């Protein structure tokens, strides 16, 4: 099941059922544990589950999925203070060109050269849009 | 280049000259004459080599001169440094006029080959590029001048040792194969690899005319960079271009021709998608994967919060009470509470518009605390007093996310 996607994507491929399965399982798990956590925490968990299911569906073929899984697993243990990030950003922001901006957006994008950056961005956009469509469909089916 | 190398192979330059008689080759050979003049210090082996050329006129003068000058300077350096003895037999044996590059490479090769005692048979050095791309030639020559004779072939090929020639040709063959260019090298690896073995002059000669016409066309193009760097650059640019095209299909509004604006569009789209994920994850709180658990959760949550809020039969009323209480202390927490339920605040006018559009029987809203002076139409009593009895709470999902599906997503969560 593709998550009931009403818009057949020309780029669709058999990875979508994997995406839906993983995400729905994660959602169920989160909601079972819902009583104990706050609202913001749960939204954060859902967002993280979305990205994890994206990365799992993409597999280890993609550099961004590997980097994302690493980052998420690391972040679940260590919480970074938002304060120190801000101080660093103000220094770096001077000479950012577009490629650097894209590198920051894409997980694992710092260590790529430009052509592979473009390729990974294409795959990332594909999976992101699939995930968004999936979540939207779930919402629609529940609240529609 | 290839014709020259093959000539060396065959040791019969005259016949090969006639065989491979293209204009460029003539020009190359003829360019030796002015270069010789530039030198001013004729060395014996080179003289021998240069003699047959003196009769030809210099047709190819100007664009070739600077590379020739560099070549001559380098040659002097290499001749003095390298195998001065080694080169002479080869040059003499060849007895053919080589271009400067070729001669340099020959001398370099001689230096090494004499060390290895390979003699002149298997040592035909391939000139990297002749004439065409004079700048690249001079660059290569300059590189060589800086390094040792051994390192001279590093730019084209990083192999060292005696097998440099075969290795060089192999490397250049790979590179050429990758570049898929009709360059000088193209014909070169084929004959050069045969150098190590018994050079089949016949095969080389026969290959030559067949390969000559395409090579001639490529060679004749001035300003065409032939060194590996520019080839790699061109490859890289092509790869980037085709990936940008693939991205154009994915990203909406991708009709920009400019690469910079295309990148901007891509960046914006990625940011937009990431924002959508974030918003959707917030809106889904209190929900589960399946509808049934979701409804149960909503009601259970409402019941829970309602219990604390001082009960009303209507859990929605309870919700409203709760929100009102939260709003008194902190707007943010109130919003979070609402978001947890998948609800939002909206002006009464908008809510009525939505309700009439969706044709719901009763559409009630949680009024914004900002508009306290609103009419009590849809239950303005969120802050003031008890809400109207029959009220359903509109959940407006993804008003932020998609914007287009607002009407569709607006659902009334009526109490069971």
Query: pLDDT per position in chain A (144 positions), as tens?
Result: 444 444 444 445 556 777 778 878 777 777 777 666 777 788 888 888 888 898 888 888 888 999 988 888 887 776 655 555 555 555 555 677 888 889 988 888 888 888 899 999 999 999 999 999 988 888 888 776
DSSP string, A79-135: PPPHHHHHHHHHHHGGG--HHHHHHHHSTT-TT--HHHHHHHHHHHHHHHHHHHHHH
CA distance B320 to B383: 8
Rg (CA), chain A: 17
Could you read off the pLDDT tens digit of each residue along chain B, which spans 416 residues?
454 555 444 444 455 444 445 555 555 555 555 455 454 444 444 444 444 444 444 444 444 555 555 555 555 655 555 444 444 444 444 444 444 554 444 444 444 444 444 444 444 444 444 444 444 444 444 444 444 444 444 444 444 444 444 444 444 444 444 444 444 444 444 444 444 444 444 444 444 444 445 555 555 455 556 788 899 999 999 999 999 989 998 888 878 788 888 889 999 999 999 999 999 888 866 554 443 344 334 334 444 444 444 444 566 777 777 777 777 766 767 666 766 776 655 566 555 655 665 554 443 433 444 344 444 444 433 344 444 444 333 333 333 444 444 344 433 334 44
> Model-level pTM?
0.39
CA distance B323 to B315: 12
Tokens of B31: 């360019």
What are all long-range contacts of A67-76, with beta carbons under 8 Å and residues at least 24 apart? A67/A107, A67/A108, A67/A109, A68/A107, A68/A108, A70/A108, A71/A107, A71/A108, A72/A48, A76/A48
Burial of A14 (0-12, 13-18, 19+ CB in 10 A): exposed
Q: Which residue in A1, A4, A23, A31 has the most chain B C-beta atoms within 10 A of its own C-beta, making it the best mutation to test that interface? A: A31
Contact call for B281 and A46, based on CB within 8 A: yes
CA distances (Å), origin B360, targets B369, B381, B393, B413 = 24, 21, 11, 11
The answer to whether the Cα torsion of A75, A77, A83, A84 is positive or negative is negative
CA distance B273 to B259: 21
Which is nearest to B33 in space by CA: B60, B59, B53? B53
What is the 8-class DSSP label of residue B364? Answer: B
Least CA distance to B270: which residue of chain A?
A125
How wide is the angle at C-alpha B406 spanned by C-alphas B405 and B407, nearest 5°?
A: 95
Which is nearest to B4 in space by CA: B71, B138, B103, B135? B103
The answer to whether the Cα torsion of B223, B217, B61, B1 is positive or negative is positive
Task: Chain B: give the shortest CA distance to residue A111, in Å.
Answer: 17
- What element of type H or E holds B318? helix B315-329
CA distance A18 to B225: 49
For B183, the 3-state DSSP assignment is coil
For B411, the 3-state DSSP assignment is strand
Contact call for B267 and A102, based on CB within 8 A: yes
B266 — contact with chain A (CB < 8 Å)? yes
B260 — contact with chain A (CB < 8 Å)? yes
CA distance A43 to A38: 9
Q: Read off φ and ψ for residue B393, nearest 5 degrees.
A: -95, 125
For B132, the 3-state DSSP assignment is coil
Contact (Cβ atoms closer than 8 angstroms) between residue B119 and residue B113: yes
Tokens of B84: 């001065």
H and E: helices and strands count for chain B: 19, 2
Name the residue among B247, B285, B397 with its Cβ closest to that of A143. B397
Give exposure, B126-142, as e/b (b: 16+ Cβ within 10 Å).
bbbbbbbbbebbbbbbe
Least CA distance to B335: which residue of chain A?
A39
**pLDDT at residue A130, as a whole number:** 92
**pLDDT at residue B356, as a whole number:** 61
Range list of β-strands (E), B274-401: 393-395
Contact call for B243 and A119, based on CB within 8 A: yes
Which is nearest to B386 in space by CA: B286, B319, B294? B319
Rg (CA), chain B: 41
Give exposure, B324-358, as e/b (b: 16+ Cβ within 10 Å).
bebbeeeeeebbbbbbbbbbbbbebeebbebbeee
CA distances (Å), origin B284, targets A34, B75, B207 = 12, 76, 72
CB atoms under 10 Å from CB of B14, counted, come to 11
Contact (Cβ atoms closer than 8 angstroms) between residue B31 and residue B68: yes
Which is nearest to B346 in space by CA: B402, B400, B305, B296? B400
Name the residue among A101, A128, A144 with its Cβ closest to that of B267. A101
**pLDDT at residue A48, as a whole number:** 87
CA distance B94 to B110: 12
**pLDDT at residue B270, as a whole number:** 93
What is the 8-class DSSP label of residue A35? Answer: G
CA distance B117 to B112: 8
Least CA distance to B238: which residue of chain A?
A115
What is the 8-class DSSP label of residue B387? Answer: P
């Amino acid at each position: 099941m593709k998550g009931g996607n009403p818009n057949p994507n020309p780029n669709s491929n058999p990875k979508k059922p994997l995406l839906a399965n993983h995400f729905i399982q994660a959602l169920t798990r989160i909601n079972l544990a819902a009583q104990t956590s706050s609202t913001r925490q749960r939204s954060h968990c859902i967002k993280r589950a979305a990205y994890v299911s994206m990365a799992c569906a993409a597999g280890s073929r993609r550099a961004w999925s590997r980097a994302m899984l690493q980052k998420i697993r690391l972040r679940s243990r260590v919480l970074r203070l938002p304060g120190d990030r801000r101080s660093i950003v103000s220094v770096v922001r001077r000479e950012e060109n577009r490629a650097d901006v894209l590198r920051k957006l894409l997980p694992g994008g710092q260590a790529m050269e430009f052509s592979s950056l473009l390729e990974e961005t294409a795959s990332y956009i594909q999976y992101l849009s699939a995930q968004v469509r999936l979540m939207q469909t779930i919402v629609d089916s529940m609240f529609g | 280049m290839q014709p020259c190398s093959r000539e060396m192979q065959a040791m019969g330059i005259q016949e090969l000259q006639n065989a491979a008689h293209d204009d460029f080759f003539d020009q190359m050979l003829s360019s030796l004459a002015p270069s010789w003049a530039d030198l001013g210090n004729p060395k014996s082996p080179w003289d021998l080599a240069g003699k047959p050329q003196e009769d030809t006129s210099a047709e190819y003068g100007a664009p070739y001169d600077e590379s020739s000058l560099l070549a001559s300077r380098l040659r002097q350096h290499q001749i003095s440094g390298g195998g001065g003895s080694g080169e002479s037999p080869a040059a003499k044996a060849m007895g053919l006029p080589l271009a400067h590059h070729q001669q340099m490479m020959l001398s370099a090769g001689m230096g090494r080959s004499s060390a290895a005692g390979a003699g002149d048979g298997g040592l035909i050095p391939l000139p990297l590029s002749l004439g065409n791309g004079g700048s690249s030639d001079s660059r290569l020559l300059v590189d060589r001048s800086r390094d040792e004779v051994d390192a001279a072939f590093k730019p084209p090929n990083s192999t060292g040792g005696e097998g440099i020639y075969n290795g060089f040709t192999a490397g250049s063959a790979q590179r050429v194969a990758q570049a898929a260019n009709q360059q000088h090298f193209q014909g070169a690896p084929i004959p050069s690899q045969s150098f190590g073995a018994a050079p089949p002059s016949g095969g080389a000669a026969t290959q030559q005319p067949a390969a000559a016409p395409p090579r001639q066309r490529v060679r004749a193009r001035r300003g065409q960079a032939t060194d590996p760097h520019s080839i790699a650059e061109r490859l890289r640019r092509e790869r980037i271009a085709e990936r940008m095209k693939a991205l154009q299909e994915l990203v909406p509004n991708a009709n920009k021709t400019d690469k910079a604006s295309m990148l901007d569009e891509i960046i914006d789209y990625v940011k937009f998608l990431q924002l959508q994920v974030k918003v959707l994850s917030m809106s889904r709180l209190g929900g589960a994967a399946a509808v049934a658990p979701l409804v149960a959760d909503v009601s259970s949550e409402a019941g829970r919060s309602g219990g604390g809020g001082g009960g009303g039969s209507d859990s929605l009323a309870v919700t409203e009470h709760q929100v009102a209480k939260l709003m008194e202390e902190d707007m943010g927490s109130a919003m979070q509470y609402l978001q947890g339920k998948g609800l939002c605040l909206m002006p009464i006018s908008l809510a009525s518009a939505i309700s009439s559009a969706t044709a719901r029987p009763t559409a009630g809203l949680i009024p914004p605390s900002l508009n306290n002076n609103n009419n009590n139409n849809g239950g303005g009593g969120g802050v003031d007093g008890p809400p109207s009895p029959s009220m359903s709470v509109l959940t407006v999902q993804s008003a932020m996310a998609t914007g287009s599906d607002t009407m569709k997503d607006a659902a009334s969560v009526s109490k069971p």
